[in-house]
Amino acid sequence: MIWFISLAICCSVGFILFRRNTIPSRSPLNSYSAKRLSVVIPARNEEHNLPQLLQSLREQTLQPFEIIVVDDFSEDGTRETAESFGVTVIDNTELPPGWTGKNWAVWNGYSHASGELIAFLDADIRLAPSALESLCAARERYGGAVSVVPYHYTEKFHERLALLPNILGVFAFTSPFEARNPTKGLYGSCILVDRADYELAGGHESVKSELLDDLNLGAKFMKAGIKVTNLIGHKLVSFRMYAQGIRSELEGFGKGAVLSASSLSLGTILLISLWLVGLLVSELFVFAFDTSLAVPLAFGYFLYMAQMIYFVKYIGRFGIAMILLHFLSGLFFIVVMLYSLYQVVVLGHVAWKGRNVKVGGR
């Protein structure tokens, strides 16, 4: 009986961590309608992703004042693709000492932007037609900096292995224990800020050497007394990551898997650990058919499975097969953590988009 109770308790804390912090429904244009909105998109070898994002920007109910794509030394048709949509394209200049590549690209994009509101978007983002209008309304409602954890669309098997890392990521950004965390981070794929707030916090220049620029930027906003609000994209903001293959997926999750925990509050860390331990123990069910623990572990396994079915309605499309076989995502998560630990502790740098980025800061 103790196993049944323990696994049920571990699973139940997921409902404490997960909050349906979706983007509020858009409201009639308010004071933000008078503010010019600049969209900045750092892009390194993104010719396959940019068309979907730029087309979705064309279809927005609230049209940006300007769209700036920063070509970060791409080796494909990134520049030509962006230019075909008629947006402003600037070349990222040589990386100065002390800067990471993305931070420098984003900073250069900001330097060329003239809007009072600035949206920083990754190239793999997809926006529903009312997304920018709803985001501006959300920023008007909450104030400060607003970021969005996008809904994750997947198509291939290797992409769906990201089920567990995605759930944990949403936990980290929706946990109620993060509300007053002085080092509360932002989710870097989609950030909307007021220019004055961004400059007061020091912008990306203040985190220029940080590998986890989004988490550290959020902490800078908090330090400056500027509120940070994290929402989930659900039906408005989505992305499809790592379609290129499992190597890019491993690098993507591995670059921050170990380091990101340091920005979380103790309450969030403890509850995520409790939920994760229960999950990984229950997943031993697939290897324990002939043991006395088979029944309680099976109970835990299917309990977590039912919970995941609820979570993924808001988190992403991973397919029912991956939810049924969620132990595969658990194994992938363990590989990601070991790879991340190896890079951080042994190598002192992480691999990402053809660059080795030195581990610095926290």
Q: How confident is the model at residue 210 (pLDDT cuts 50, 70, 90)?
A: confident
89: which residues sit within 8 A by CB, 6+ positions away?
68, 69, 70, 71, 79, 82, 83
Are 161 and 189 found together in one domain?
Answer: yes
Domain check: are 276 and 210 in the same one? no
Alpha carbon of residue 349 to chain centroid: 20
Percent of the chain with pLDDT over 90: 73
CB 220 within 8 A of CB 202: yes
Q: What is the mean pLDDT of residues 59-67?
A: 96
Question: Which range has the worst mean pLDDT, 58-62, 166-170, 291-295, 320-324?
Answer: 291-295
Say whether both 26 and 10 belong to one domain: no
Q: Structural domain tally of the chain?
A: 2
Per the structure, the complete domain to which residue 75 belongs is given by 22-245
Nearest CA to 34 among 94, 134, 116? 116
Interval 13-30 mean pLDDT: 82
Is 320 domain-assigned?
Answer: yes
Q: Residue 119 above 60 pLDDT? A: yes
Segment 259-280 shows an average pLDDT of: 93
In this structure, the answer to whether residues 226 and 164 fall within a common structural domain is yes
Using DSSP, state whether 218 is helix, strand or coil.
Answer: helix
Instruction: For 5, list phi and psi in degrees, rounded to 5.
Output: -65, -45
Map 327-349 to HEC letters.
HHHHHHHHHHHHHHHHHHHHHCE
* 228 and 311 co-located in one domain: no
Does residue 78 share a domain with residue 186? yes
Q: Is the pLDDT of residue 34 over 90?
A: no
Report the pLDDT averaged over residues 344-359: 71
Q: Residue 361 pLDDT more than 50?
A: no
Task: pLDDT band for 253, please (50, 70, 90 cuts).
Answer: confident
Q: Does 288 map to a domain?
A: yes
The pLDDT, as a whole number, for residue 28 is 53
Pairing of strands 228-232, 151-153: unpaired
**What value does the mean pLDDT take over residues 193-222?**
93
To 5 degrees, how large is the angle CA 306–CA 274–CA 350?
A: 100
Pair 113, 241 in one domain:
yes
> Is pLDDT at 248 greater than 90 in this prediction?
no
State how far the Cα of 208 lies from the Cα of 327, in Å rounded to an integer.
Answer: 38
Per-residue pLDDT tens over the stretch 311-346: 999 999 999 999 999 999 999 999 999 988 888 878
Measured N-to-C along each axis, helices 213-223 and 101-112 cross at an angle, to the nearest 10 degrees, of 60
User: DSSP letter string over 268-291?
Assistant: HHHHHHHHHHHHHHHGGGGG-TTS
* 221 pLDDT above the threshold of 70: yes
Query: By CB neighbour count within 10 A (0-12 exposed, 13-18 middle, 19+ buried), where does 4 fall?
Result: middle
Boundary of a domain, candidates 245, 279, 310 = 245
Q: What is the pLDDT of residue 362?
A: 39
Same domain, residue pair 267 and 238 = no
Q: Could you tell me where the beta strands, DSSP code E, fall in the chain?
A: 37-43, 66-71, 88-91, 117-121, 125-127, 145-149, 151-153, 190-194, 228-232, 237-239, 316-317, 349-352, 355-358
Average pLDDT, the chain: 91
* Pair 217, 287 in one domain: no
Q: Give the pLDDT confidence score for residue 354 in this predicted structure.
A: 63
> Does one domain contain both 12 and 32?
no
Say whether both 68 and 193 belong to one domain. Answer: yes
